[in-house]
Amino acid sequence: MKHIVILGGGYAGLLCALELRKHVSSSDAEITLINKHSYHQLITQLHETAVGARSDRSLRLSLSKLLDGKHVEIVKGTVSAITPDGHAVELQDGRTITYDKLVVALGSETEYFGIAGMKEHAFTLKSVNQARLIRAHIESCFARYLYERDPALLRFVVGGAGFSGIELVGELADALPQFAREAGVTMDQVELYNIEAAPGILPGFDQDLVDAAQHSLTSRGVRFMTGAAIVQVEPGRVTVKTGQVVETHTVIWTGGVRGNQLVVDAGFETEPRGRAKVNAYLQSVSHPDVYIIGDACFVMGEEGRPLPPTAQLAWQMGIASGKNITNELRGVALEPFKPNILGSLASLGRKDAVGKVLKSYKMYGKMAYMAKEASQMRYLAKIGAMFHSN
């Protein structure tokens, strides 16, 4: 019997396991899913948990419940190395797991661009645990302010104004007044900065959507610093290229992502930002017996631009790789991956968003927010988690 091993229980890995079990019975193949945690994380909603607008429990869905009855062995463990030539995966706890077919769906890592002190002193928002840390830190800043009266405690900085940064800034703009009320401080003592290296926020997005986002956020007190690359983060301050310094005890870095280092270390052919080069079937170009999907891979879109590392493409790649492994087991031709970009919507806090759906239909405000919520519902329905309880 073949042994299919999937690394990562995020959007891509989970959908791959679910798709495989639609076509491949447990007598034809054993499937093992290896994940660092016992739960799947809804990382597209982390900005809400980081400010306390959504409970962290609601973003953690038990993998054993999602895969109940699917005959998928779930191994809780952290992958420490992949040896594609030996068809083996090593875990941090010393276990070695061998495979016939491997799917690497290990996601991305934060890109620090070598910025001095960023890794050491800034928060990142890539997991539920990090979101919890940010929330607790914000609370502690307000609590400390009551005793220390240091204005930098109430000055919050988000580095990067891509989709992740803007969504977080939107949530913070809505949530900080509540933190302030609870601490008994007035909002004129609280400052929220978004610092972006590019000349404007949401680089590359349609200008009218950018303008709407900027207007909405500015009206809620967000201070944008654009054309201002962060060059250094130290305890208590952040410095930008122009020499300007912002004194703060809170920097949350959303300045970009890169591929997973394990993929680079395993010797898979990668592009300069560590994402694996894959063929039309999502197999590694250097090791075609391994599928590499989701944020961990690099796929060129039809318009000659790399596909963005988004959740919707990760699910689609999970499904496509599940189908192609099935095809391989059945000895039929593989199907090229055809991305279907349904839209891009950036939330701007509670009940506001901007974006584009169906290629060019632009949405704003509450409608856009509801469209984003609907896509989240669709995803939960797809993975069978609509009525999931932890």
Active site residues: 167
- Min. distance of Cβ 207 from ligand NAD in angstroms? 15
Choose which of 41, 45, 49, 164 interacts with ligand NAD (CB under 6 A).
Answer: 164
Between residues 293 and 345, which has the closer beta carbon with respect to ligand NAD?
345
- Please tell me whether residue 339 binds ligand NAD under the rule CB under 6 A: no
Between residues 179 and 196, which has the closer beta carbon with respect to ligand NAD?
196
- Please tell me whether residue 352 binds ligand NAD under the rule CB under 6 A: no
User: Which pair of tokens denotes residue 333?
Assistant: 């031709």
Choose which of 91, 185, 229, 371 interacts with ligand NAD (CB under 6 A).
Answer: 229
Name every residue whose Cβ is closer than 8 Å to that of residue 182 and which is 6 or more positions away in sequence. Answer: 142
Number of residues that bind ligand NAD (CB under 6 A): 27
∠ CA 50-56-61, rounded to 5°: 135
Choose which of 19, 48, 167, 174 interacts with ligand NAD (CB under 6 A).
Answer: 167
Stretch binding ligand NAD (CB under 6 A), from 50-58, 251-259, 279-287, 324-332:
251-259
d(CA 252, CA 169) in angstroms, rounded, equals 10
- Which residues between 39 and 68 bind ligand NAD (CB under 6 A)? none
Between residues 214 and 324, which has the closer beta carbon with respect to ligand NAD?
214
- Min. distance of Cβ 181 from ligand NAD in angstroms? 28
- Min. distance of Cβ 219 from ligand NAD in angstroms? 21
Between residues 197 and 263, which has the closer beta carbon with respect to ligand NAD?
197
Stretch binding ligand NAD (CB under 6 A), from 75-83, 154-162, 208-216, 382-390:
154-162
Between 93 and 122, how does the x/- string for binding to ligand NAD read (CB under 6 A)?
Answer: --------------------x-x-------
d(CA 347, CA 258) in angstroms, rounded, equals 23
Stretch binding ligand NAD (CB under 6 A), from 65-73, 97-105, 207-215, 343-351:
343-351
Stretch binding ligand NAD (CB under 6 A), from 138-146, 189-197, 325-333, 380-388:
189-197
- Please tell me whether residue 257 binds ligand NAD under the rule CB under 6 A: yes
- Please tell me whether residue 193 binds ligand NAD under the rule CB under 6 A: no
Between residues 145 and 163, which has the closer beta carbon with respect to ligand NAD?
163
d(CA 263, CA 193) in angstroms, rounded, equals 35
- Please tell me whether residue 253 binds ligand NAD under the rule CB under 6 A: no
d(CA 281, CA 334) in angstroms, rounded, equals 7
- Min. distance of Cβ 126 from ligand NAD in angstroms? 9
What are the CA-CA distances from residue 20 to residues 67, 102, 111, 320 (Å)? 12, 13, 32, 10
Choose which of 177, 200, 203, 365 interacts with ligand NAD (CB under 6 A).
Answer: 203
H, E, C per residue of the chain: CEEEEEECCCHHHHHHHHHHHHHCCCCCEEEEEEECCCEEECHHHHHHHHCCCCCCHHHEEEHHHHCCCCCEEEEECCEEEEEHHHCEEEECCCCEEECCEEEECCCCEECCCCCECHHHHCECCCCHHHHHHHHHHHHHHHHHHHHHCCHHHHEEEEECCCHHHHHHHHHHHHHHHHHHHHHCCCHHHCEEEEECCCCCCCCCCCHHHHHHHHHHHHHCCEEEECCCCEEEEECCEEEECCCCEEECCEEEECCCEECCHHHHHCCCCECCCCCEEECCCCEECCCCCEEECHHHEECECCCCCECCCCHHHHHHHHHHHHHHHHHHHHCCCCCCCCCCCCEEEEECCCCCEEEEECCCEEEEHHHHHHHHHHHHHHHHHHCCCCCCCC
Between residues 267 and 308, which has the closer beta carbon with respect to ligand NAD?
308
- Min. distance of Cβ 90 from ligand NAD in angstroms? 29
- Which residues between 308 and 337 bind ligand NAD (CB under 6 A)? 308-310
Choose which of 172, 251, 346, 383 interacts with ligand NAD (CB under 6 A).
Answer: 346
Binding site for ligand NAD (CB under 6 A): 113, 115, 159-165, 167, 195-198, 203, 229-230, 254-257, 308-310, 344-346
